Structure 1
Amino acid sequence: MDAIWLDGAEWLAVLRIGLGLWWLESWRHKDKKAWFAEGSGIAWAADVAAKHRWAAVRSGFAVVVRPRPRVMSYVVVYAELALGLGLVAGFLTPVALVCGLLLNLLYLVLMIHDWAEQGQNSMMALISAVALGAMAWQTWSVDDALGWFR
């Protein structure tokens, strides 16, 4: 019976890997042609940011993202891919968890007054925080195999 159940560190690895798979799915389902050629994702975000209640979000988007829609399209799409691969493999896991947490918080703040997937962003941010605090890279990870972040 003991062989069926995982220990705590293994469950944390499952949580980390599941979060990585969630990021990979976010990357997979994007229409890359539209994101890169047409900038559809950034155009949608620009529309949301332009109507945002918080001036800091409107001005921050206008300064950082709006002048660089093509570059930011690549940043978003490939950040999601890198996060997914890093978390599934457990490679540079603390870095991936912090970056994923920040990206989810950015998504959450941008879309806080919109209809978008707030539950998804909230849960992904929570999983990142738990995995980071519990050091979920200590089992089933490249980081552990290389002796990193002990």
Structure 2
Amino acid sequence: MDTVWLTGAEWLAVLRIGLGLWWLESWRHKDRAAWFERGTGIAWAAEVAAKHRWRAVRSGFDAVVAPRPRVMAYVVVYAELALGLGLVAGLLTPVALIGGLVLNLLYLTLMIHDWAEQGQNAMMALISVVALFGMTWQTWSLDAVVGWLG
């Protein structure tokens, strides 16, 4: 009789948890003083957006991010923390997966001209899609314990 170390659903849960750990690492390594006090993260993104080949990226950044750089710095940094915690714990997992996918797609769009930095975002987006359609909240998650996502 063959024994299976982990089931397919458990491997998908491992993938979800790994993605959450990736988001937590992204949050952990950020210099929060630089992001919050000096605004370096948003200032860097503003430089990239200003030179972007797509007008929609430039105008979108100018309309949404530029008027509120301090707020957006907090949004980015704490979104990464929330995504990481949600995915590792499996809490509101579909929301975290969709939120992470959107954030990765925004990062990919902003940095479309620099593919050297995009492998991470592309893989995180792909994992988000696989984890979402694999319904990874059904295994090893608070969502499954509470039973609210079936």
Q: TM-score range by the shorter chain?
A: over 0.9
Structure 1 residue 83 corresponds to structure 2 residue 79: no
**CA shift for structure 1 position 149:** 1.2
Query: Do the aligned residues in 2 keep the contact of 1:48 with 1:114 (CA within 8 Å)?
Result: no
Q: Number of aligned residue pairs: give it.
A: 149
Pick closer, same or farther for the CA change 1:94–1:19 going to 2, 3 Å. same
**CA shift for structure 1 position 116:** 5.3
Find the counterpart in structure 2 of residue 23 from structure 1: 23
**In 1, Cα distance between equivalents of 2:69 and 2:115:** 23
Residues 47-86 of structure 1: pairs in structure 2 closer than 5 A: 47-86=47-86
Find the counterpart in structure 2 of residue 141 from structure 1: 141
Please list every run of at least 4 consecutive aligned residues from structure 1 whose deviation after the TM superposition is greater than 4 angstroms: none
Query: Do the aligned residues in 2 keep the contact of 1:90 with 1:142 (CA within 8 Å)?
Result: yes
Q: Which TM-score applies when normalising by structure 2? A: 0.97
Residues 9-20 of structure 1: pairs in structure 2 closer than 5 A: 9-20=9-20
Deviations 1:55-106 (A, max 9, x none): 0000000000001000000000000000000000000000000000000000
**CA shift for structure 1 position 115:** 5.3
Deviations 1:6-36 (A, max 9, x none): 0001000000000000000000000000000
AA matched with 1:125: A
AA matched with 1:9: A
**CA shift for structure 1 position 114:** 2.6
The answer for unaligned runs of 5 or more in structure 2 is none
**In 2, Cα distance between equivalents of 1:139 and 1:148:** 13
